Amino acid sequence: MPELNESNLLIVDDDPMNREILYRHLKKLGYPNITLAQSGKIGLEIVASHPVDLILLDMMMPVMNGLDVLTYLKENHEWRVIPVIIISALDEKKMMLTCIQKGAEDYLTKPYDRVLLNARVSACLEKKTLHDREVLNNQKLEAAYKELAVAYHELEVVKNELESLSHQDGLTGIANRRYFDTVLEREWNAAHREKKCLSLILFDIDYFKKYNDTYGHLAGDDCLCQVASAALKVIKRPRDTLARYGGEEFAVILPDTDALGAEFCAEQIRYAIENLNISHNSSQINPYVTASLGTSTIRPHMQISTSQQLIKEADLALYQSKREGRNMVKAWSING
């Protein structure tokens, strides 16, 4: 953005003497960057190819007069901000009013009064400078807003990632116990509000301590990951939640699922784990890794005070599965 005395001025006048007189006046007033054009057409070509901060435009020119040039300038989105001072030998109020209505900043009559010329040129350039500064500030502000929006988006991504990680089990990648508690409470309330069934599956790996003792804890961690992956493939619906409940124990929350649906899902999980064919030579029931599962279900008509009873009943069913030989599914229906 140029200082006022460094601004680019354009004189458009078909009369060489008038151009020269105005040129000298402006030079003496301290404006070194002045371009001359002998016609409206040439003046527009200069505007199209060079930066111009102020145009001093003669009104009476052949072919394309000053009013035509002014109209053309103000109809162009890029050029309409360039201030224009109309120069004329005629002191006609009607002509002055027309020029102002068309967008001219000011109107000067010949011969020039140097003081008046300086005041009006300075005022127009000051206005142009303020406009340019506003445009620049708006551009900077828009750029800052864009940077802020990008930063905010990146922050939201990081925030979501951190929140997601806070819900995940660090080993298996499925939901952790904390998230399980949150989801169970939410689904428990929804089941009571909507008068729908809610089921829970608890399961753990049979003789997992013996597995760790035999194959080592790294193999044990890998076993847990494979079991979680196998169970996750069985869980199809978006609201169903598989979580690591603790150690080698897992849990599945099944909204809007009755007892038969829970037993069916549990049996699929049991089958998927057994068919991983993970060797378990220390198991007392099977040469491969297996799991015992227990399910519990609340029905719409029941009045159960807390979600903990659902966990308690699923845990009792799991205990029954282990007591009766493991690698099986046992269901416990809350009678309410």
**Token pair of 274, please?**
């057994």
pLDDT in tens, 3-39: 556 889 999 999 999 999 999 999 998 999 999 999 9
Q: Is the pLDDT of residue 301 over 70?
A: no
Q: Is the pLDDT of residue 224 over 90?
A: yes
Number of Cβ within a 10 Å radius of residue 77: 7
Which value, in Å, is the radius of gyration of the alpha carbons in the chain? 42
pTM of the model: 0.57
Rounded Cα distance, 151 and 233, in Å: 36
pLDDT of amino acid 333: 56
- Residue type, position 77, single letter: H
- Residue type, position 12, single letter: V
The model's confidence at residue 128, banded by pLDDT at 50, 70 and 90, is: confident
Tokens 């010329």, residue located: 117
Number of Cβ within a 10 Å radius of residue 23: 18
* Homologous superfamily (CATH) for 4-138: Response regulator (3.40.50.2300)
Domains 4-138 and 177-333 belong to one CATH topology: no
**Residue positions annotated with a catalytic role:** 248
pLDDT of amino acid 303: 64
Of all residues in the chain, what percent carry a pLDDT higher than 90?
62
Domain 177-333 has CATH 3.30.70.270: yes
**Token pair of 293, please?**
């599962």
pLDDT in tens, 84-127: 998 887 767 788 888 888 889 888 888 878 888 889 899 899 88
Q: What is the mean pLDDT of the chain?
A: 90
Q: What residues does each domain of the chain span?
A: 4-138, 177-333
Q: Is the pLDDT of residue 2 over 60?
A: no
Per the document, the length of the chain is 336
pLDDT of amino acid 325: 95
User: Mean pLDDT over residues 216-233, rounded?
Assistant: 96
What is the DSSP code (8-state) at residue 300? Answer: T
Query: At CA 83, angle to CA 77 and CA 86, rounded to 5?
Result: 120
- Contact residues for 37 (Cβ-Cβ < 8 A; gap 6+): 10, 11, 12, 13, 43, 45, 46
